[in-house]
C-alpha cells in the first residue's frame, strides 16, 4: 500500500468502487476526499471479496476505461513568478517527463498567445504597466483563453494542464481559481534572487524574435522595466491552498503547502529537486604552456598542440547541437571553447568564475618540482590529505566544492531546455564536477583521471546514469 497520503495510485475504475490491498484508490469530490466506506479494520466491503472477485472487478474496470486517466488523477499546475525566473524551462522539462511516463500533458503559455497578437506592440514595457487599463484587459483575455483551453483539455483526455504565465497578482489567481473548479490546482512559484543569473537570463531573453526591432540596449531596458512592473503587483503565494515555492536556480523546495490531495504530487516533488542531464560533455582545456612545464594556476595560453586539440574538438562536435559552452574566466578554457563554438550555427560561450581552476595561493605559477624543493612541508601536507589540504592564501578541493556546485547550477539553469550541455574546465574543477554526478568518495576525488586528449560524456536522468571517456581525434 502506498504510504504517501498525496500519491494517487493509477487504479482504473469502473462504476464499481472497490478497494483492494494492492491498490489504494481515493474517490474525491471538489470539496474534499470521499473515501470508500471501510469497516473498523479499515477494510471496505470490496476488500472483503474473495481475491478472484477483486480481479474480476479490476478486469472489467480496465475493459471499461482502458488507460484513460480517472477524474481523480487530473491536475492543473499553475506557474507563478517574475519574468526570467526559469518557469518555462521547468515547464518544458516537466511536460517532457510526464509525456515520457504516458501522462497526457499540455502546456498553455500566455506569452505564446500574446506574441501572436498583432494589433498592438506587446514587447514594450508599457504593455505591462498596471496603470495601462487597455493592456491589462488584453492580458486578462489572453489568460482566459488559456484557462478555457486548459479546461477543455482536461475535460477530454488530458491529465495534466500546465498554465505557464507570471500569475503574480492575487487578482489573476482569483480569476484562475474561479474558473478552474473541476480539478485540483497546484501552484509552483519560481524564485531566483541571483543577480548575475538574472542578468545572463535577460541577455538571453533579448535575443528572442520578440525583441528583434529593438537595439540591444533598448531591449534590455524594456525587459528590465517589464520586470519592474510585475514587481509592483507581485503578491507571494500564501493564501492559495496548494503550492510549492521553488528556488529555481538551486532546484530547492523553499516552502510547501497542501490542503487537499494532489495527484502525482510525490513525482512532481522528486522531479523539482532532481538534476537531469541528457548529455553533458565535460572537457578539460587543451594543452597550455604551463602544462608543458608542469606549472600550476596562472592564466597561460594554449600551445600549438593545444590549439590543434581545440580544433579537433570543434570538428568532433560539429554534428552535435551545442547552444552554450560554459568555461572558466581563464584564457585557456575560452580558447579551447572558441573553435568548438565557431563550428556551431548558434553557440554562446559563457565564462563563469565558479569554474576557475583551484587557487594555488602561495604556490600559484610554480612547478610541482619547485614546490617540492622550496616548500617541502606544503608538498607533503598536501600529499597526506589532498582533498582537505588548502593552499595558503588559496583553496583546496574541499573549499572549492560550494562554488563548483553554484557553477553547475548556473550552467544548468542557463542551458535551459537544451539537451546538450558543454563545460570546458580545468583538472581540479572537472574532478569536482565528475564527483558531483558520480558520488565519489572525497579522498578519491583529487585523483580522478582528467586527460586533455579525451572528454567525459555524462548522462544522468532519473532512470539512466552513464559516464564514458571518449576520444575526439
Q: Which residues contribute to the site for ligand F6P (CB under 6 A)? A: 291, 296-297, 357-358, 360, 426-428, 446
Distance in angstroms (rounded) separating the CA atoms of residues 435 and 93: 24
Of the residues 357, 382, 415, 430, only one is catalytic, namely 357
Q: How far is the CB of 352 from ligand F6P (least distance, A)?
A: 16
End-to-end CA distance of the chain: 54
Question: Of 439, 328, 434, 446, which Cα lies nearest the Cα of 397?
Answer: 446
Dihedral over alpha carbons 455, 460, 463, 469 (to 10 degrees):
10
CB atoms within 10 A of CB 10: 16
How many Cα atoms sit within 13 Å of 224 on the Cβ side? 11
For the question of residue 216 being annotated catalytic, the response is no
Spatial neighbors of 379 by CB under 8 A, at least 6 apart, are 368, 371, 372
Q: Which is nearer to ligand F6P, 117 or 447 (CB)?
A: 447
Which residues are paired to 78 by β-bridges?
163, 187
Q: How far is the CB of 402 from ligand F6P (least distance, A)?
A: 18
For the question of residue 291 being annotated catalytic, the response is yes
Q: How far is the CB of 308 from ligand F6P (least distance, A)?
A: 18
For the question of residue 285 being annotated catalytic, the response is yes
Of the residues 172, 173, 183, 284, only one is catalytic, namely 284
Of the residues 85, 173, 332, 436, only one is catalytic, namely 332
Spatial neighbors of 90 by CB under 8 A, at least 6 apart, are 79, 188, 190, 246, 248, 272
* DSSP conformation class of 223: H
Return the C-alpha cell found at 194.
541571483
Distance in angstroms (rounded) separating the CA atoms of residues 341 and 171: 46
Q: How far is the CB of 361 from ligand F6P (least distance, A)?
A: 10
Return the C-alpha cell found at 417.
531546455
Q: What is the chain's Cα-based Rg?
A: 27
Q: Which is nearer to ligand F6P, 139 or 427 (CB)?
A: 427
Q: How far is the CB of 336 from ligand F6P (least distance, A)?
A: 13
Dihedral over alpha carbons 144, 147, 153, 158 (to 10 degrees):
160
Q: Assign residue 246 a region (left: φ > 0; alpha: ψ between -120 and 50; beta: otherwise).
A: beta
Of the residues 183, 295, 426, 431, only one is catalytic, namely 426
CA 139 and chain centroid, separation: 27
Q: Which is nearer to ligand F6P, 188 or 445 (CB)?
A: 445
Q: Which is nearer to ligand F6P, 36 or 394 (CB)?
A: 394
Q: Which is nearer to ligand F6P, 97 or 430 (CB)?
A: 430
Of the residues 192, 251, 291, 415, only one is catalytic, namely 291
CA 380 and chain centroid, separation: 42
For the question of residue 173 being annotated catalytic, the response is no
Q: How far is the CB of 205 from ligand F6P (least distance, A)?
A: 35
Q: How far is the CB of 158 from ligand F6P (least distance, A)?
A: 52
For the question of residue 93 being annotated catalytic, the response is no
Return the C-alpha cell found at 171.
487578482
For the question of residue 357 being annotated catalytic, the response is yes
Q: How far is the CB of 342 from ligand F6P (least distance, A)?
A: 24
Q: Which is nearer to ligand F6P, 173 or 426 (CB)?
A: 426
Return the C-alpha cell found at 122.
506587446
The single residue listed with the C-alpha cell 547541437 is: 321
Q: Which is nearer to ligand F6P, 154 or 428 (CB)?
A: 428
CB atoms within 10 A of CB 326: 25
The single residue listed with the C-alpha cell 474534499 is: 32
Q: Which is nearer to ligand F6P, 109 or 328 (CB)?
A: 328
Return the active site residues. 284-285, 291, 332, 357, 426
Amino acid at each position: 500500500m502506498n504510504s504517501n497520503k498525496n500519491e494517487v495510485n493509477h487504479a482504473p475504475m469502473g462504476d464499481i468502487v472497490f478497494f483492494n490491498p494492492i491498490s489504494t484508490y481515493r474517490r474525491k469530490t471538489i470539496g474534499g476526499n470521499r473515501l470508500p466506506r471501510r469497516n473498523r479494520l479499515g477494510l471496505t466491503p470490496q476488500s472483503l471479496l474473495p481475491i478472484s472477485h477483486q480481479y474480476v472487478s479490476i478486469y472489467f474496470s480496465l475493459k471499461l476505461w482502458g488507460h484513460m486517466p480517472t477524474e481523480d488523477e487530473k491536475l492543473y499546475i499553475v506557474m507563478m513568478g517574475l519574468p526570467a525566473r526559469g518557469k518555462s524551462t521547468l515547464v518544458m522539462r516537466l511536460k517532457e517527463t510526464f509525456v515520457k511516463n504516458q501522462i497526457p500533458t499540455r502546456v498553455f503559455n500566455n506569452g505564446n498567445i500574446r506574441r501572436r497578437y498583432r494589433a498592438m506592440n506587446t514587447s514594450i514595457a508599457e504593455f505591462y504597466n498596471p496603470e495601462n487599463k487597455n493592456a491589462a484587459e488584453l492580458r486578462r483575455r489572453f489568460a482566459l483563453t488559456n484557462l478555457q483551453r486548459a479546461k477543455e483539455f482536461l475535460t477530454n483526455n488530458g491529465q495534466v494542464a500546465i498554465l505557464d504565465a507570471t500569475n503574480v497578482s492575487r487578482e489573476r489567481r482569483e480569476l484562475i481559481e474561479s474558473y478552474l473548479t473541476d480539478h485540483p490546482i497546484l501552484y509552483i512559484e519560481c524564485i531566483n534572487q541571483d543577480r548575475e543569473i538574472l542578468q545572463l537570463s535577460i541577455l538571453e531573453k533579448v535575443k528572442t524574435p520578440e525583441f528583434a526591432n529593438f537595439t540591444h540596449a533598448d531591449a534590455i531596458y524594456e525587459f528590465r522595466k517589464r520586470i519592474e512592473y510585475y514587481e509592483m503587483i507581485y503578491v507571494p503565494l500564501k493564501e492559495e491552498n496548494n503550492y510549492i515555492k521553488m528556488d529555481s536556480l538551486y532546484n530547492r523546495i523553499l516552502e510547501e503547502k497542501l490542503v487537499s490531495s494532489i495527484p502525482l504530487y510525490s513525482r512532481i516533488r522528486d522531479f523539482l529537486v532532481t538534476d537531469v542531464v541528457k548529455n553533458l560533455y565535460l572537457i578539460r582545456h587543451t594543452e597550455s604552456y604551463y602544462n608543458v612545464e608542469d606549472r600550476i594556476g596562472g592564466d597561460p595560453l594554449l600551445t600549438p598542440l593545444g590549439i590543434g586539440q581545440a580544433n579537433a574538438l570543434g570538428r568532433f562536435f560539429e554534428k552535435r547541437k551545442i547552444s552554450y559552452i560554459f568555461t572558466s574566466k581563464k584564457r585557456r578554457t575560452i580558447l579551447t571553447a572558441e573553435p568548438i563554438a565557431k563550428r556551431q550555427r548558434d553557440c554562446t560561450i559563457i565564462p563563469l568564475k565558479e569554474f576557475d581552476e583551484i587557487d594555488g595561493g602561495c604556490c600559484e605559477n610554480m612547478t610541482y618540482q619547485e614546490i617540492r624543493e622550496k616548500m617541502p612541508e606544503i608538498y607533503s601536507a598536501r600529499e597526506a590529505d589532498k582533498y582537505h589540504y588548502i593552499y595558503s592564501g588559496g583553496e583546496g578541493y574541499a573549499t572549492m566544492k560550494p562554488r563548483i556546485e553554484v557553477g553547475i547550477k548556473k550552467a544548468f539553469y542557463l542551458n535551459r531546455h537544451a539537451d546538450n550541455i558543454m563545460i570546458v574546465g580545468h583538472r581540479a574543477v572537472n574532478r569536482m564536477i565528475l564527483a558531483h554526478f558520480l558520488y565519489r568518495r572525497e579522498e578519491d576525488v583529487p585523483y580522478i583521471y582528467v586527460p586533455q586528449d579525451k572528454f567525459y560524456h555524462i548522462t544522468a536522468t532519473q532512470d539512466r546514469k552513464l559516464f564514458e571517456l571518449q576520444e575526439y581525434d
